[in-house]
Structure 1
Amino acid sequence: MRRLVLPLSAAVVLATVTPVQAAPDPGRQVLPDGDGWASVGAGTTGGAQASPENVFHVSTMAEFREAVRGDEPKIVHVEGTIDANTAADGTPLSCEDYAVDGYTLEDYLAAYDPDVWGWEDPTGPLEEAREASSAVQARQIRVNVGSNTTVVGVGEDAEITGMNLRVNNVTNVILRNLTFSDTHDCFPGWDPGDGGQGNWNSEYDHLEVSGSTHVWIDHNTFDDGDNPGSELPEYFGRKYEVHDGLLDIVRESDLVTVSYNHFDGRDKALLLGNSDGRTTDRGRLRVTYHHNHFDTLGQRAPRVRYGQVHVYNNYYTVAGDLYEYSLGVGIESHLYAENNLFDVRDGIATARIIENWGGTDIVEFGNAVMRDGRGRLEMVDLVRAHNAANPGRELGTRQTWTPQYDAKVQPVHAVRALPRRVGAGRL
């Protein structure tokens, strides 16, 4: 047999290696068709069409604030940790740096102690100093995102801490692969009439979507960082609460998809619609929550007013002393809860998963309960459990709408492994 010998030039050609294709830029990714309410119409594309000069890599508060402003298409890559409590020159800022007009917490506590002041609302120079100090902090930590923007974390450790990030009266925004941590209020106010025993009320959600449309919030982590609520002190017999919500969607916002996020350890977590009296929310607040881990939250996962809200394939860790409820059925809400898994611990009753906040109906099916993170799944009728435990506050099951943008709905047993696939660093 003759041996075929190739010319050297041919051998070189055969040995040529095809170059490895670069991984696609997640900043150019858009919301897939059929993926929740934010996919309606033209969908949600964020800054996917940004020109090269509008693609930014940022690592400081000043760079971030500048990069997200304006409505031209833009992609903002967050590298490392951006701490909102940082001056323009990089100097760390503390609560004392925001205090003005002689405000101190010690003086405030002494002045408005109910044993001294009584149970009237705080007034006078010290309350005015608290409000003025709060305004100073707000100017520092509040950042507004412009329309047609994608903000995406680079790698596994991109973090935004201490910031009140607002998607406010804009459209077409994508936020992905970020850890939102410890947005704390340095100047909570004492409200003696709140809840019968008084409460400390704080400003600043980690993320607030207000008056905005077409927003995709995906693969993020929301937590309290090194300032967990369980370690906050008590004053006047009530917890000195320095946090508000993790993610609030309010004031006529519409067409939002919230997917594959980890919401961790907060008392009041996700509010949808901020007032019973805001009737302009009717026909809006259409939001999809899917494949999220609602992890040891106290309440509001979510609490719903007015909106047509699809909650499906989420994993709930129902545990802890703070737990009150998961699904809040508020005024004129149209909540559709499908194929969610509730990992119920600490002897918490299934009847507590739903709470009636002035609503009339909730559609729920395919939901299951697992006890203490193990064992078989038990299919459960959440409305029946709620109604049996709450005579006089029963909910109906009338269906007022049918979800259409639900391409990713899975059987409930598929949700069991979800906690390993959600949150920042898991894209």
Structure 2
Amino acid sequence: MRRLALPVTLTMAVALTATAVTTAHAAPADRDHHPRDITRQVLADGDGWGSAGDGTTGGSAAAEEDVVHVATMEELRDAVGPREDGRPRIVVVEGLIDGNTAADGSPLGCEDYAVDGYTREDYLAAYDPQVWGWEDPEGPLEEARDASQDVQAEQIRVSVGSNTTVVGADGDSGLTGVALRVNNVENVILRNLTFSDAYDCFPGWDPKDGNTGNWNSEYDNIEISGSTNVWVDHNTFDDGDNPGSELPEYFDSKYEMHDALLDIVRESDLVTVSYNHFVERDKAMIVGNSDGRVTDRGHLRITYHHNHFDGLGQRAPRVRYGQVHVYNNHYTIAGDLYQYALGAGRESHLYAENNVFDLRDGIGAGEIVYNWGGTDMVAHGNAVMYEGRGRMHGVDLVAEHNAHYPDRQLGTEQTWTPEYVDRVQPVGAIRSLPRRVGAGLL
């Protein structure tokens, strides 16, 4: 497999028509023998970190008897689950599969998962800081909440095995209320699906989270953990009929029933995330889930390209440890949820180039990046658009951050050079990207 290295130094011209572009290479070799069959398409050579190593081919080599169409939760679970022989399989999702559905097809609500006498009303009454104080919840009701959460997890969590492609049959295909896990496996493709609303019926109250306490939830729409060679492409991620903006507040904090849209953690490696639409989630996606997980060093090599990060609050992405290339993405930055887009965390090696940041609601360029204990970040060729002005303007993301947060300075030392990339498009070509991403557009 060819390594297509970018030049070490690229300059950004003030005029966007002269924006620096990575030197183009010959078109990557096509390993896809079924160009019109999206169920058997593979990640092309040179398409991000996911094409490194042995590449990402998913279930493309599956025999015809290992191509399965699924329309229910039980069919999905049986079809995608790990196999001892690792035989390639293709799973085609027909329609919308609801994770909160019993084997007989009947819907399941939060009350169906509650055990040991748990009710939200009793939990709120017991652990109200005005009654309980500011100590961590403990006792029978906290134990009941934890046990109830385990019951829901058993229902909605679905694990994907190695050498698997999961693909939507059409633009109406997707999973709602499902927490899909790509854990400790290799060679997985997820495409052309809408992943909605993996909600937690039993959020836990943490009075010591932040200055005033926070509600914390389990379940990501997708969690990639300890896995290698994964391609996440042309999907839509959202909260479905349960948007965060409509969640109630308890103890003066939002009763957050969602965790992340797409987290990549615990020594996962060689992942490409491309042409996805991520919609209006507070904590969207994280790379590396702990400052103390030093075993992530040398892993978490991820490429994000041609995604639309649309109205997110934070973590698009937030990075620890990994070598993460973020290029040619479109960010729509707006709303009360917004805190930052790119997070430079501990020992992060974040390389951001030729992205467009569409700034609205008075949000400034200095609020795009936030330093979560990082030291350096490389950024060039990026541009901002300000609401009502129309034109794009070149922006130095690190300089804007350092001016806005003088006590959280970032350097610009380049510690690595991105590989496995065919061409970085001029930033002007990214303005139309939101019309070309998400499920149903393959």
TM-score with structure 2 setting the length: 0.91
**Could you tell me which residue of structure 2 aligns to residue 339 of structure 1?**
354
**Could you tell me which residue of structure 2 aligns to residue 268 of structure 1?**
283
**1:23: Cα distance to partner?**
7.6
Which residue identity is paired with 1:394?
Q
1:309-320 pair list within 5 angstroms: 309-320=324-335
Aligned mate of 2:298, from 278, 283, 288: 283
Which residue identity is paired with 2:200?
D
The answer on whether the counterparts of 1:343 and 1:373 sit within 8 Å (CA) in structure 2 is no
How far apart, CA to CA, are the structure 2 residues paired with 1:41 and 1:109? 50
Aligned mate of 1:418, from 430, 433, 436: 433
1:184-333 pair list within 5 angstroms: 184-333=199-348
How far apart, CA to CA, are the structure 2 residues paired with 1:153 and 1:173? 14
Aligned mate of 1:37, from 36, 44, 49: 49
1:2-54 per-position Cα deviation (integer Å, ceiling 9, x unaligned): xxxxxxxxxxxxxxxxxxxx982211100011000010132100000001110
The answer on whether the counterparts of 1:177 and 1:218 sit within 8 Å (CA) in structure 2 is yes
1:123-171 per-position Cα deviation (integer Å, ceiling 9, x unaligned): 1111111011000000000010000000000111001000110000000
Aligned mate of 1:63, from 75, 79, 96: 75
Alignment CA distance shift 1:254-1:373 (3 Å): farther
**Could you tell me which residue of structure 1 aligns to residue 103 of structure 2?**
88
Alignment CA distance shift 1:23-1:350 (3 Å): closer
Which residue identity is paired with 1:359?
G
**1:372: Cα distance to partner?**
2.0
How far apart, CA to CA, are the structure 2 residues paired with 1:276 and 1:381? 27
**1:373: Cα distance to partner?**
6.8
Aligned residues: 406
Aligned mate of 1:156, from 171, 196, 200: 171
The answer on whether the counterparts of 2:204 and 2:216 sit within 8 Å (CA) in structure 1 is yes
Which consecutive residues of structure 2, in runs of 5 or more, have no partner in the other structure? Answer: 1-33
1:363-421 per-position Cα deviation (integer Å, ceiling 9, x unaligned): 00000001127511100111111111211211000000001211141000000000000
How far apart, CA to CA, are the structure 2 residues paired with 1:220 and 1:295? 13
The answer on whether the counterparts of 2:35 and 2:41 sit within 8 Å (CA) in structure 1 is no
How far apart, CA to CA, are the structure 1 residues paired with 2:408 and 2:252? 30
Which residue identity is paired with 1:381?
D
**Could you tell me which residue of structure 2 aligns to residue 6 of structure 1?**
none
How far apart, CA to CA, are the structure 1 residues paired with 2:423 and 2:241? 35
**Could you tell me which residue of structure 2 aligns to residue 17 of structure 1?**
none
The answer on whether the counterparts of 1:276 and 1:305 sit within 8 Å (CA) in structure 2 is yes
How far apart, CA to CA, are the structure 1 residues paired with 2:37 and 2:402? 49
Which residue identity is paired with 1:228?
P
How far apart, CA to CA, are the structure 1 residues paired with 2:150 and 2:292? 26
How far apart, CA to CA, are the structure 2 residues paired with 1:23 and 1:397? 41
How far apart, CA to CA, are the structure 1 residues paired with 2:245 and 2:205? 19
1:278-310 per-position Cα deviation (integer Å, ceiling 9, x unaligned): 000000000000000000000000000000000
How far apart, CA to CA, are the structure 1 residues paired with 2:382 and 2:197? 32
Instruction: Say which one has the larger Rg.
Output: 1
Q: Secondary structure at the match of 2:390?
A: strand
1:74-100 per-position Cα deviation (integer Å, ceiling 9, x unaligned): 000000010000011111100000000
The answer on whether the counterparts of 1:143 and 1:166 sit within 8 Å (CA) in structure 2 is yes
Alignment CA distance shift 1:91-1:340 (3 Å): same
1:65-214 pair list within 5 angstroms: 65-69=77-81, 70=83, 71-214=86-229
The answer on whether the counterparts of 1:35 and 1:408 sit within 8 Å (CA) in structure 2 is no
1:17-32 pair list within 5 angstroms: 24-32=36-44
Which residue identity is paired with 2:260?
G
The answer on whether the counterparts of 1:306 and 1:334 sit within 8 Å (CA) in structure 2 is yes
Which consecutive residues of structure 1, in runs of 5 or more, have no partner in the other structure? Answer: 1-21
1:313-392 pair list within 5 angstroms: 313-372=328-387, 375-392=390-407
1:45-74 per-position Cα deviation (integer Å, ceiling 9, x unaligned): 000000111000000000000000123200
How far apart, CA to CA, are the structure 2 residues paired with 1:393 and 1:129? 41
Q: Tell me which stretches of 4 or more aligned residues in structure 1 moved more than 6 Å.
A: none
The answer on whether the counterparts of 1:103 and 1:130 sit within 8 Å (CA) in structure 2 is yes
Q: Secondary structure at the match of 1:214?
A: strand
Which residue identity is paired with 1:33?
D
